[in-house]
Amino acid sequence: MSRTLVTGATGWLGTQLVQNLVKGFDNIPSLRNPDADRRIHCLTLPADDLSRLKSISPDSEFHSGDLCDADAVKKFCRDAAGGTIFHCAGLIHPGRSVRELFRVNVTGTLNLLQAAEAAGVKRVIAMSSNSPLGTNPGPEHRFDESSPYHPYMNYGRSKMRMELLLKEFQQRGKIEIVIVRSPWFYGPFQPARQSLFFRMIRDGKVPLVGNGENKRSMAYVENISQGMILCEKKEAANGQVFWIADARPYSMNEIIATIENLLENEFSIPVAHKRLKLPFLSGEIATLADRLIQALGLYNQKVHVLSEMNKTIVCSIDKARTVLGFQPQIALAEGMRRSLKWVLGTYGRI
């Protein structure tokens, strides 16, 4: 029986991944049927609510422990020889201190890799980000797998260090490593901060920094899940880095207008049709403020998010298409439709 380990299983992406590992993909013939002999083990924090995961995958085994606790991670990896680890756990927005980013994203990953190597795990598929590459130098530029590191703030630095660790373990030759980079996530199981984005659009309070024509690559969580599972199945993925995202990028204007249209015309939720218009310079001021705050070892989520609102962050998925056979099935309108439906079905309101 194939042993599959998932870190961050109760998170946004982790939950979607477990669902696809258990149920397959209705819209992808080659991945329609899940592996019948797969046994899923999930690493979860002691305070995590497991009810949703247990309803999705009642036969999974759940291991309570912190990724930063080396002993807990060793226990999680025990008896996993020949298996796969999907490393979805990570910290994006710390509470107040940026040190937490390095504790979770770097030290936690080191604990996992050491335990996996010792246990004889075959392959680790690790979720990274666009942040180790920073922001595009111009509106027509696209990141690919050959783009150099230029990390954006401390989150980007922590993910860059994580990637360098992964590459070091790959070079040691005892374990196979695949790195997946995905930009802005969206889709079901989303955290509260994404619901806030919906409310700000509904109420006409969403900040539009500059003219709103800056492009963003986005990744519907089921598209990411497809890419990660292909990274397990394709032998040629070993030792590689892949950008995984939707088929094309979207402008900030398109993103906001798409959500407005869905709220109003498909969910009958009145929309203010306004923007909190800010000059392009305000994004640069927010970037400077973010750097100063983080230089003090502190973190402010609202300032950090505002600092990115006028930036172009776009990637190419050509390598994933060619090597993995990756074909993103869901684009912005349908993905946001499903996101809104999930939020309303779960919470009863936006």
Give 193-205 pLDDT, tens digit per residue: 778 999 999 999 9
Q: Which long-range contacts (CB under 8 A, 24 or more apart) does 56-65 make?
A: 56/15, 56/18, 56/19, 56/22, 56/23, 57/18, 57/19, 57/21, 57/22, 60/18, 60/22, 62/9
d(CA 22, CA 33): 9
pLDDT at 2: 77
Split at pLDDT 50, 70, 90, the class of 22 is very high
Split at pLDDT 50, 70, 90, the class of 96 is confident
d(CA 166, CA 125): 10
Those residues whose C-beta lies under 8 Å from the C-beta of residue 60, and which sit 6 or more positions away, are 18, 22, 40, 41, 42, 53, 54
> Would you say 139 and 311 are in contact if contact means Cβ atoms under 8 Å apart?
no
pLDDT at 66: 96
Split at pLDDT 50, 70, 90, the class of 128 is very high
Mean pLDDT on 263-283:
96
d(CA 186, CA 256): 13
pLDDT of residue 111 exceeding 70, the answer is yes
Residue range 39-50, pLDDT digits in tens: 999 999 999 999
d(CA 245, CA 317): 7
Q: Which domains does the chain have, with CATH numbers?
A: 2-185+218-247+313-329 (3.40.50.720)
Residue range 150-203, pLDDT digits in tens: 999 999 999 999 999 999 999 999 999 999 999 999 999 988 777 899 999 999
- 3-state secondary structure string, the chain? CEEEEEECCCCHHHHHHHHHHHHCCCCCHHHCCCCCCEEEEEEECCCCCCHHHHHHCCCCEEEECCCCCHHHHHHHHCCCCCCEEEECCCCCCCCCECHHHHHHHHHHHHHHHHHHHHHCCCEEEEEEECHHHCCCCCCCCCECCCCCCCCCHHHHHHHHHHHHHHHHHHHHCCCEEEEEEECEEECCCCCHHHHHHHHHHHCCCCEEECCCCCEECEEEHHHHHHHHHHHHHCHHHCCCEEECCCCCCEEHHHHHHHHHHHHHHCCCCCCCCCCEEECHHHHHHHHHHHHHHHHCCECCHHHHHHHHCCCCECECCHHHHHHHCCCCCCCHHHHHHHHHHHHHHHHCCC
pLDDT at 127: 98
Q: Which residue has the higher pLDDT, 2 or 307?
A: 307
pLDDT at 1: 60
